[in-house]
Structure 1
Amino acid sequence: MTEQPRSSSGPAAAEAVPEVTAVSDATSNEGFLQSIMSSNPYFTAGFGLMGLGAVLAVGRQTLVRASSLAYRQLLVDLEITSKDKSYDWFLEWMSRHPARSSRNFSVETNYVEHDNGSITATFDLVPGPGRHLLKYSGAYIMVKRERSGRLMDLRMGSPFETITLTTLYRDRQIFSKMLREAQSRAQTKQQGKTVLYTSYGPEWRPFGLPRRKRSIESVVLADGVKEGLLDDMTSFLKSAQWYTDRGIPYRRGYLLYGPPGSGKTSVIQALAGHLDYNICILNLAEATLTDDRLNHLMNNVPARSLLLLEDVDSAFSNRKQSSDQGYVSGVTFSGLLNALDGVASADERIIFMTTNHPERLDPALIRPGRVDFQALLDNATPAQIHRMFTRFYNDDKLAHAFVEECIQRNKPVSTAQLQGLFVFHKDDPQGAIAAIHNM
């Protein structure tokens, strides 16, 4: 008996039909999408641009990283800010080493007034803000000078500036060589000069041009006064370790007192020049000076500088502020004492005070530890008069005659008066002798 095929109308057949239909639908949808994407130019261009953008982004990032790596490996930078001492040295050095590709320049004027009254001015052109290329010791250096429009350099009262030097890493040693050369040149220009500093806000600023150092032999004082001051200062400067070993603050105070014109300021200038020191002048009677600013200034005196407080009696009299000038200083007496030897007072410091009226000074101001050496600079003695005359005219015989005339005059005469007389009769010693009675 022949077996008949089974009917497809069962449940299995019913399930198989939808599966075939779903596969055929997916295939037809995929083909439809592919046909649309391949035939539509907007789809093709969009995916192409996306791919190109991705490639460019990756390439740019790779290039940036590669250039940054190459910069770090091949180049080196040196930054010099305008608040650093080497900033002025470098600008002056650059004026002697012209850049190869400079379009912006700044002018620096050197103004000198000579003793005879004549004036000399020289002009140096230094690279201004911008980029400059120079060659030094066989190496090329890119110089970038930038000026801030918001920040100010309080030391100079000018916009804050930055100089960035860039050269090959292999040539980095020329930075030290260049800075040493700039420093040496700056020191050579100031050799034989004394720099005077004055306070400007919380900073010390050079006052005018450096002065020619005054010879210690040019100051004629009473016997032993100048020698005593010089010996004491020399001994102090050699005793830093001695003070440290004994726990004593390493500072020294000097008081020079006497009538006006007796040479107090002159001997300080001569001592500073002899010891190769500069001078910082602080006016205690300044109306804007406060205790905090005074303490800050006295704790930040430039290196190798004497601090000079002139006419201390004009600021304080018996612990009271003086108003002789029509105004009163903002410094209190206790503030001055604390700045001199308080907890916050600085070490490695030499202070000179001068006064024409020592009797007005409070004993607390001139006690040991604040004033360690006092010297009277009085009116000229016969020995001083003789030495000053021979120094100007080199005539010992006439010097004795001049001293006799001064004695017969029977009036005190200051060294400043004598110097003025000798300058007026610089080539006429007989005229100076005749004019002594008219002083």
Structure 2
Amino acid sequence: MSLFLSKKALSISPSSTLAIDAKFKSMKAKGIDVVGFGAGEPDFDTPAHIKEAAIKAINEGFTKYTPASGMPQLREAVCRKFKRDNGLDYSPEQIVVSNGAKHSLVNAFMAICDPGDEVIIPAPFWVSYPEMVKMADGVPVFLNTSEENNFKFTVEDLKKAITAKTRALVLNSPSNPTGMVYSREELKEIAEVAVQNNIYIISDEIYEKLIYDGMEHTSIATFGDEIKDLTIIINGVSKTYAMTGWRIGYTASNAKIAKVMGSIQSHATSNPNSIAQVAAIAALDGPQDDIEVMRKAFIERRDYMVDRINSIEGLSCSKPQGAFYVMMNIKSILGKEFYGRVITNSDEFADVLLEKANVALVPGSGFGAEEYVRWSYATSMQNIVEGLNRIEKFIKKEL
């Protein structure tokens, strides 16, 4: 018996970041001394007051369905967050709470894309963006950037990429995987181009609180009513409050778009987890002190990682301004032989490194950056030191 599978489903690639993390965890479970830098989640625990709110909700029996787009109380809390942190006014009907920011992105692409619509995705990009666009019958169009320009595109680059079929631009600042941050001036220029061409901005701001070196996060939706109407902000509690497993993300958008996204979600998942929604209210409205503790730890880890990578002959990296990732340049390594294998791409580099040095990094191929691999410094300093010791021995062929 032959099984039929849809062409669209077969065109979707699995997540390379989750694949590396799964392999790392499998090796770890077998007792192998492996150090992993793959997963994009803080290694800190969820703050106590957030967990206590969830426990209270369970004990009080808050375990039933909620409205599909999220509890009114949580949507109101999200509105308060946008006013407090971003200077943006939204009403609860403009907010859709979903099962993580990843789910929010899927809803957004499903809401705005017709078959053949193009979505511009700057590269390097988070691995899931192109696959999500394809799931929504859209066409991902990649806008390449360079490390020399801090992995940012210019408005001239953007104008050249826009066609009659362009529906949206994905904007991720701070960025996964590069950690770059667009300045207020750069965002204003991008907003003007979007308004002139009537294209949506999918503004992924999930790392907005993890920003360094005096940089400030600016939401592109702040540059007037026209760009605000065209912007779908993606955010959530995963990175800011170390709540990755709680799966609460949210969008802010024009009310018409929010209604469509809510309808899609009502059929796909019913509603986000009720207990996690209560926890998210506690996160957004409660003390914010833990964020700064985490942010300072990330700065220390980033600085050590960047300095150490740049001290190893054949390797280099730029210093990220946000998030918790470093894109390591391996151009000088490609074409050379290591431990009996000639390294021709980032996948081979990551594979040999894992096999010989027991260090798990994510190949840049999944991010549209073949000459790079991604480190996550959302792990302990002890792991970072050990991982960098191992990779230095690997490069020097001293293993």
**TM-score, normalization by structure 2:** 0.23
Structure having greater relative contact order (Cα 8 Å, sep ≥ 6): 2
**TM-score, normalization by structure 1:** 0.21
